[in-house]
């Protein structure tokens, strides 16, 4: 395994792996991006190509290409190994292949991949799929698109696929868990049959192009055929709310065009790609989830929606748009002109130029919503009705309030005020109220029964930031360790990793001193005995433009701030312990605590 891992690391650059998911920008000698693992406005996710590591200074996640893929794909090491081996073109050793094949998720991937291949082959070659081929021809789907999207057909036979896969030595329980077979028990009898029968099959892939599920469209509807569209159920591979259809085919074009077009169904996506518009994906007719939006946000900050204009389509779009705005995405609406078709597929068939123009001229969502809310032919009537005007204002404001940027909020408040013929101040106040959040939860530490010590999250975040910056600067300006050690010790660090590293530095520094009785300023070490590469990354990201003297001044300032926070917390803790001892009437304990308190404040 070790050899496989090293070969993969030699062949794959950490920046290239991360670029498959994030847009990286140069920052000095490193690369940076907004972290995909927590919500942030300013980029704190850094990539170091020299050391082949990544680290986020916002959430403190970090590691190499394997830990990154494990974390972002939510997979275990074996799956990450297989995925990166494929990307690197590395043939894994036999022992490693065996270990991977024991993995449940890998077996399910193999099952779905084989099912997709069988369905596709049936569509292309078998006489029984002639009706499906005719349907796709009538819908204008080219042979090239059938191949690219691996469209298939599931015959009406009850268990053709199941029997085939059983002969390939897959277990029936695995077929059921992968979502291709249904197993039912009727008394002593167990029935097993194909989940999809008599349907045109659209494979659904993960971002790496691996089939993980299906959407099946019924070819001939009958009273027993079930829904027109049937999806793979939730499985260990397939979670509908985490998947964006055709993203693996569209992500390169999305990066290039700097926006993604969202349509409702598979046929809309295929029609767009066939017409040459490749930056198009679908959410399979459902409202987008936060997970899907964050997946799209890896590749772009702008989404253009093309949902049905009916009431249901508008409501679905608004739910998705609320989440998208809250995630900091730019949202625009594609409006197909009257008579141009009800969706992308129909519009492209009538006139591809009309669809291209609609996408190009997509308007900001709030502008689109204001126009819908206050139609030109109803303006006079609406402006006479204070209650109606208030209702419309509240709806518009609910979306403006989601915008992270104060400048954008102000822009749309001004636009809405003109559109609604009302005061910008009134709308500003509504936005302020809509954005008002409850006070953040505070972290509570129990000292003893009936007494707690409450830490404000803002102080906790500030302390965490100070700790990592003190350690980064101290690692670089290690000649100041002796001076720093008169102000700090390991107990000042709430982060266990920093406390442990400080203790190692302290031991190494002391060992390098001679004689031991000399004061801290006589220490002779000038290089940290152990270095943390993530601290080097932080130093480069934050302090690369400072010279040695400026870094030393900054270090002294940060140590003072960290010390002040630490001593304040310790004083508050001692006060509460003194109160507890007083309640208990424990005079001895009170005396001890008062002595400690006096030392602390002296």
3-state DSSP helix/strand/coil % of the chain, to nearest 5: 55, 15, 30
The tally of domains found in the chain comes to 5
CB-based contact 66:26 (threshold 8 Å): no
Q: Judge whether residue 443 has pLDDT over 80.
A: no
Q: Which of 305, 300, 259, 298 is nearest to 283 (CA)?
A: 305
User: Do residues 270 and 340 share a domain?
Assistant: yes
**Least confident piece of the model among 275-279, 297-301, 564-568:** 564-568
Identify whether 204 is part of a domain.
Answer: yes
User: Do residues 131 and 261 share a domain?
Assistant: no
Alpha carbon distances (Å) from 126 to 121, 122, 123, 601? 8, 5, 6, 86
The runs of H, that is alpha helices, within 127-262 are 130-138, 143-148, 160-167, 172-178, 247-257
Q: Judge whether residue 9 has pLDDT over 80.
A: yes
SS3 category, 199: strand
Q: Which residue has 């409501």 as its token pair?
A: 315
User: Do residues 150 and 222 share a domain?
Assistant: yes
Q: Which of 34, 37, 23 is nearest to 72 (CA)?
A: 37
User: Do residues 206 and 284 share a domain?
Assistant: no
Q: Which of 13, 75, 87 is nearest to 47 (CA)?
A: 13
Token pair for 575: 């006060």
Q: Which of 184, 196, 276, 257 is nearest to 231 (CA)?
A: 196
User: Do residues 90 and 124 share a domain?
Assistant: no
Identify whether 374 is part of a domain.
Answer: no
Query: Quick one: what percent of the chain has pLDDT higher than 70?
Result: 87
Give the mean pLDDT of 540-548: 69
Using only C-alpha atoms, the chain has a radius of gyration, in whole angstroms, of 31
What pLDDT was estimated at residue 438?
Answer: 34
- CATH code of residue 111: 3.90.980.10
Distance, CA of 469 to CA of 498 (rounded, Å): 11
User: Do residues 387 and 450 share a domain?
Assistant: no
Give the mean pLDDT of 230-255: 91
Q: Phi then psi for 503, rounded to 5 degrees? A: -65, -40
CB-based contact 230:213 (threshold 8 Å): no
User: Do residues 179 and 276 share a domain?
Assistant: no
Q: Is the peptide bond before 515 cis (omega within 30 degrees of 0)?
A: yes
CB-based contact 269:249 (threshold 8 Å): no
Q: Which domain holds residue 74?
A: 2-100
Identify whether 440 is part of a domain.
Answer: no
What pLDDT was estimated at residue 522?
Answer: 41
User: Do residues 173 and 285 share a domain?
Assistant: no
Q: Which of 509, 498, 496 is nearest to 470 (CA)?
A: 498
Q: List Cβ neighbours of 47 (8 Å cut-off, separation of 6 or more).
A: 14, 15, 18, 24, 30, 31, 32, 33, 53, 54
Helix axes 386-400, 311-326, angle to 10 degrees: 50
CB-based contact 53:62 (threshold 8 Å): yes
- CATH code of residue 483: 1.10.860
User: Do residues 417 and 466 share a domain?
Assistant: no
* Chain CA centroid to CA 440, Å: 23
Query: What is the pTM for the complete model shown?
Result: 0.66
User: Do residues 476 and 585 share a domain?
Assistant: yes
User: Do residues 295 and 318 share a domain?
Assistant: yes
Distance, CA of 88 to CA of 82 (rounded, Å): 10
**Least confident piece of the model among 222-236, 437-451, 496-510:** 437-451
What pLDDT was estimated at residue 451?
Answer: 42
């Amino acid at each position: 395994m070790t050899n496989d891992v090293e070969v993969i690391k030699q062949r794959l650059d950490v920046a290239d792996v991360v670029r498959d998911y994030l847009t990286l920008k140069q920052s000095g000698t490193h690369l940076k991006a907004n972290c995909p693992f927590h919500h942030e406005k300013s980029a704190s996710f850094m990539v170091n190509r020299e050391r082949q590591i990544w680290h986020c200074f916002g959430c403190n996640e970090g590691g190499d290409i394997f830990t990154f893929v494990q974390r972002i794909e939510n997979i275990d090491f074996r799956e990450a190994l297989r995925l990166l081996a494929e990307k690197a073109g590395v043939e894994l050793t036999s022992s490693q292949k065996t270990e991977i094949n024991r993995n449940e998720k890998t077996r399910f991937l193999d099952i779905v991949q084989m099912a997709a291949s069988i369905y596709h082959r049936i569509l292309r070659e078998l006489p029984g799929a002639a009706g499906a081929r005719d349907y796709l021809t009538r819908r204008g789907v080219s042979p090239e698109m059938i191949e690219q999207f691996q469209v298939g057909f599931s015959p009406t036979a009850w268990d053709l696929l199941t029997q085939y896969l059983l002969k390939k030595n897959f277990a029936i329980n695995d077929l059921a868990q992968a979502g291709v077979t249904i197993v039912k028990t009727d008394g002593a009898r167990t029935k097993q049959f194909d989940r999809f029968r008599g349907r045109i099959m659209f494979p659904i892939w993960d971002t790496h192009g691996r089939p993980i599920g299906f959407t099946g469209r019924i070819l001939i509807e009958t009273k027993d055929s079930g829904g027109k569209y049937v999806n793979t159920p939730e499985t260990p591979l397939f979670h509908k709310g985490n998947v964006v259809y055709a993203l693996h085919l569209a992500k390169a074009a999305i990066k290039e065009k700097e926006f993604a077009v969202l349509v409702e169904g598979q046929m809309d996506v295929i029609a767009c790609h066939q017409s040459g518009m490749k930056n198009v994906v679908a959410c399979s007719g459902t409202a987008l989830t936060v997970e899907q939006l964050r997946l799209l946000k890896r590749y772009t900050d702008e989404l253009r929606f093309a949902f049905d204009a009916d009431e249901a389509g508008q409501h679905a779009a608004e739910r998705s748009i609320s989440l998208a705005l809250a995630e900091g995405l730019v949202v625009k609406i594609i409006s197909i002109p009257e008579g141009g078709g009800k969706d992308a597929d129909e519009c492209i068939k009538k006139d591809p130029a009309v669809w291209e123009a609609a996408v190009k001229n997509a308007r900001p969502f709030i502008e689109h919503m204001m126009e819908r809310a206050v139609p030109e032919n109803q303006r006079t009537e609406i402006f006479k009705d204070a209650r109606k005007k208030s209702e419309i204002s509240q709806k518009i404001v609910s979306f403006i309030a989601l915008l992270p940027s104060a400048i954008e909020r102000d822009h749309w408040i001004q636009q809405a005020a003109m559109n609604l013929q009302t005061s910008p101040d009134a709308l500003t106040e509504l936005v302020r109220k809509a954005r008002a959040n409850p006070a953040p939860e505070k972290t509570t530490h129990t000292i003893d029964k009936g007494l707690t010590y409450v830490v404000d999250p803002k102080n906790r975040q500030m302390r965490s930031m100070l700790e990592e910056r003190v350690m980064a600067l101290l690692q670089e300006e290690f000649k100041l360790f002796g001076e720093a050690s008169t102000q700090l010790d390991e107990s000042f660090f709430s982060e266990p990793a920093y406390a442990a590293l400080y203790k190692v530095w302290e031991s190494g520094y002391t060992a390098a001193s001679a004689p031991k009785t000399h004061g801290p300023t006589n220490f002779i070490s000038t290089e940290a005995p152990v270095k943390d590469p993530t601290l080097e990354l932080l130093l480069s990201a934050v302090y690369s433009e400072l010279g040695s003297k400026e870094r030393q001044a900054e270090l002294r300032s940060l140590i003072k701030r960290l010390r002040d926070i630490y001593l304040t917390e310790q004083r508050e803790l001692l006060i509460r312990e003194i109160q507890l001892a007083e309640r208990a009437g424990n005079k001895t304990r009170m005396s001890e605590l008062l002595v400690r308190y006096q030392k602390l404040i002296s």
